[in-house]
Every structure is written in C-alpha cells, then in structure tokens.
C-alpha cells in the first residue's frame, strides 16, 4: 500500500492496479496528462473567454478513478505545471487565463469526487450522477468568482459567460460518466 492510499476504505479503480508509491506517482502524472490532453479539445463559446473543453470531464474522471488524494494531487500537478508554463490548458495555453479559477476548482473537485468514489459514489449510474454533479458545482464555485475578477464582470454576467453555455455539455459529460464508471466496476467484478 502506498502513502496515498487509505487502509480500511473502499477501493477506487486505481487501487486495483498493483504497486505502491511508483504506481501512485505514475497515476498522478497520467491523470494530469490526460486532463491536459482533454483540454486540447476546445470549442470557443462566442462572447465568453471560457471555451467548452474535455478537461472538466477528464478532471472528474481522474478524481473518481484515483481517489481523493491521488485525484487532488493529479489536478494540483496539472494546475501548477500549467501556471509554470506547460502549454496544456485549453487550446495549448498556460499561465493565468480567465478560466484559471475552473482549473483551481479541478483540485477541489478531484478531492471531492475521489472521496465520494471511495464511498461507492461511482458504483451505480444514479450515484455517479450525484457525484459528478457535485464535482461540477465545486468547479463552478471556483471558476465563476475568478471569471468575475479576470473579466471585470458582475455575478449575473459571469453566470451568463461561464456557466449557462456549459450546462448541456456538462449534462452530457455526467451521463457519459454515469455509463463509464459503473461499467468499469462491472468489468472489474467479472474478472
């Protein structure tokens, strides 16, 4: 068992991979890399500095699959490396974009979703939906205030620019996760 795993709790998907500390480091780096790769799928939203990307979906899946410690560590690595200049934020950007608050939210959401997954929040479609919705709410709770400050807009305008255009896409991502995560557990149980 590694320092990032917790004895006496339900497993998350990453706990089924053999190894210990080396495994955890590899999974944390891979989770950050997956999120950076998913961020390159970016569709601009007219009038908004925040594009539609795959990074939110990846961040939540990483949290659920890795558990709260590894998930938060993976998203913290993604955040720190991007701010330091690794061009893996949306569209190959780095530094301090207007959407950086959402990336900060990934760290907290990774921890929350990972914690809930460790308590079975990714075992059934209904539980997964609840887990992913809560993760999205955390991301919005961090992203909207940052967007308000970065774009110099009030709360209403920030919601219009940084939440409303993304709700349908987030619903689709939640539905996809509700199919993927319980299916992964079903496959694991068959082995």
Task: Spell out the SS3 assignment of 71-126.
Answer: HHHHHHHHHHHHHHCCCCEHHHECCCCCCHHHHHHHHHHHHHHHHHHHCCCCCCHH
- 13 DSSP assignment: G
- pLDDT tens sequence across 120-141: 999 999 999 999 999 999 999 9
d(CA 58, CA 76): 14
d(CA 17, CA 161): 40
Sorted by sequence, the CB contacts under 8 Å of residue 189 that are 6+ apart come out as none
Please identify which residue in the block is written with the tokens 């993927």: 180
Give which of 190, 88, 68, 87 is closest to 131, Cα–Cα.
68
Domains of the chain plus CATH, in order, are 13-190 (1.10.1760.20)
- Residue 73, pLDDT > 70, answer yes
Helix (H) or strand (E) holding 185: helix 167-190
Stretch among 84-93, 121-130, 178-187 having the lowest mean pLDDT: 84-93
- pLDDT tens sequence across 76-85: 999 999 999 8
d(CA 29, CA 42): 22
């Amino acid at each position: 068992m590694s320092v990032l795993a917790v004895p006496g709790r339900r497993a998350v998907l990453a706990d089924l991979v053999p190894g210990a500390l080396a495994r955890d480091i590899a999974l944390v780096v891979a989770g950050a890399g997956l999120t950076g790769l998913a961020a390159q799928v970016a569709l601009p939203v007219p009038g908004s500095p925040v594009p539609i990307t795959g990074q939110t979906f990846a961040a939540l899946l990483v949290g659920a699959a890795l558990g709260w410690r590894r998930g938060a560590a993976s998203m913290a690595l993604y955040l720190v490396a991007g701010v330091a200049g690794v061009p893996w934020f949306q569209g190959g950007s780095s530094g301090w974009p207007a959407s950086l608050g959402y990336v900060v939210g990934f760290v907290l959401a990774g921890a929350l979703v990972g914690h809930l997954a460790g308590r079975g929040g990714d075992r059934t479609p209904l539980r997964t939906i609840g887990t992913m919705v809560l993760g999205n709410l955390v991301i919005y709770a961090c992203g909207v205030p940052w967007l308000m400050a970065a774009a110099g807009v009030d709360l209403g305008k920030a919601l219009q620019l940084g939440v409303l255009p993304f709700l349908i896409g987030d619903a689709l991502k939640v539905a996809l996760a509700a199919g993927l995560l319980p299916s992964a557990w079903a496959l694991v149980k068959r082995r």
